[in-house]
């Protein structure tokens, strides 16, 4: 019950937004954070959780998670410490009708697990031709508008869409990729794709789309978010735009912080992603962008069943499960890059909250009681049987991870206990 009072004691409380990092108790009441440290006068906890030896942080907020089986994927989310997630509109059918959005919001609410923040389709059926009913979709619960994995090829349509969105203050998220430069590519246009005879997607496909989107954002004043950047050139363009004062944000997929085109190996379809895994210098640029706060980190969770992956590389479905690996892969990246824990957690908590403009991502008094408790030292091995997601595909199957979620609370309710 939301009115239950809970105290989480003896843990290392890390709240990147406020800068709190130390052994402090956390007290929750009525679905919100009631106090840090000493309990408020008269506070009587109905439940005390001993977090000794563990980290207590805000629930993770994921900027890109696809939910083909809503309830099952939300169970995977909370098992990964994710308490809120943005759902792209490239569902089947696309999220271009208010009724579809309302259904997702209602089902997510009824499931009582992670919070779902739908992204509405920017254009009808995601065809890139005519605008979707943005106003109706916003009233139904959409927090921003996107084209999923495709940027409208017609820049006149894109300009009109951004103008309209700017007029009403709707944020627009784009995953930048020039349709014509990408062609039928399935891998990074580099030495590996050439050796394997795979059609490549040049880094320029992203850079051209980023440059176009930034110029249109400058012209329209729209709030622009560039999702899942994959190249050094794309990151550099965003860095320059922000230095010029443009209010643009971006994120990177957590897989792209660890893997490169070399991980395709010999046609390993588990390593097929959209955007593709890029070159080492691109991975280093993405890591630097996440380290210095230019980019947030998302799971880009895309469950794919076995049939979708057991195909030749070029025909296999792109994507991998990521919700349950977002935290350990972020910790692994931080350790390798020398990024302090609080700084790394900011990329998956308060930073995405700011991009979404949603509550959460912090543990200040009065904030939603969305909490993740994890053991930073726990070692475990990724297995298909151990993943709760319906998609068992990840290039990290069999790999060892460090850091495991012990408990997740949403609105002051325990929704996962490992």
Q: Which are the catalytic amino acids?
A: 300
Contact 117, 358 (CB under 8 A): yes
Contact 79, 387 (CB under 8 A): no
C-alpha radius of gyration, the chain, whole number: 21
φ, ψ of residue 413 in degrees (nearest 5): -105, 140
Contact 327, 372 (CB under 8 A): yes
CA torsion sign, 130 to 100 to 170 to 274? Answer: negative
CA distance 215 to 89: 24
Contact 300, 228 (CB under 8 A): yes
Tokens 């700017």, residue? 166
Helix (H, G, I), strand (E, B) or coil at 327: helix
Contact 333, 347 (CB under 8 A): no
Contacts of 198 (CB under 8 A, 6+ apart): 185, 186, 187, 192, 313, 314
CA of residue 218 relative to chain centroid, distance: 25
């Amino acid at each position: 019950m939301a009115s239950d009072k809970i105290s989480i004691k003896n843990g290392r409380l890390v709240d990147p937004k406020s800068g709190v990092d130390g052994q402090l108790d956390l007290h929750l009441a009525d679905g919100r954070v009631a106090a840090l440290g000493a309990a408020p006068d008269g506070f009587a906890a109905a439940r005390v959780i001993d977090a000794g030896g563990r980290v207590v942080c805000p629930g993770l907020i994921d900027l890109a998670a696809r939910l083909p089986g809503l309830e099952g994927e939300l169970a995977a989310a909370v098992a990964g410490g994710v308490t809120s997630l943005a759902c792209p509109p490239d569902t089947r059918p696309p999220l271009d009708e208010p009724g579809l959005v309302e259904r997702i919001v209602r089902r997510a609410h009824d499931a009582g697990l992670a919070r779902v923040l739908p992204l509405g389709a920017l254009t009808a059926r995601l065809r890139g031709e005519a605008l979707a009913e943005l106003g109706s979709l916003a009233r139904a619960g959409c927090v921003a508008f996107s084209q999923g994995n495709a940027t409208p090829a017609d820049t006149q349509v894109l300009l009109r869409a951004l103008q309209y969105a700017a007029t009403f203050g709707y944020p627009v998220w784009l995953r930048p990729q020039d349709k014509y430069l990408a062609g039928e590519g399935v891998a990074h246009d580099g030495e590996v794709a050439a050796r394997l005879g795979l059609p490549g997607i040049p880094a320029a496909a992203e850079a051209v789309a980023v440059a176009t989107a930034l110029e249109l954002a400058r012209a329209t004043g729209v709030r622009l978010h560039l999702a899942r950047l994959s190249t050094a050139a794309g990151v550099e363009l965003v860095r320059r735009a922000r230095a010029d004062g443009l209010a643009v944000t971006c994120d990177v997929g957590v897989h792209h912080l660890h893997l490169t085109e070399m991980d395709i190996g010999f046609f390993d379809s588990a390593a097929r992603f959209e955007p593709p895994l890029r070159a080492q210098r691109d991975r280093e640029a993405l890591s630097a962008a996440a380290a210095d706060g230019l980019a947030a980190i998302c799971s880009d969770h895309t469950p794919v069943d076995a049939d979708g992956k057991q195909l030749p590389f070029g025909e296999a479905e792109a994507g991998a499960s990521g919700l349950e690996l977002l935290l350990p892969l972020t910790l692994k990246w931080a350790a390798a890059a020398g990024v302090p824990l609080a700084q790394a957690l900011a990329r998956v908590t308060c930073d995405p909250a700011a991009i979404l403009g949603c509550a959460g991502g912090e543990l200040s008094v009065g904030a939603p009681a969305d909490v993740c408790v994890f053991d930073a030292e726990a070692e475990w091995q990724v297995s298909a049987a151990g993943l709760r997601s319906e998609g068992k595909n990840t290039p990290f199957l069999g790999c060892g991870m460090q850091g495991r979620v012990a408990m997740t609370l949403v609105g002051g309710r325990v929704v996962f206990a490992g």
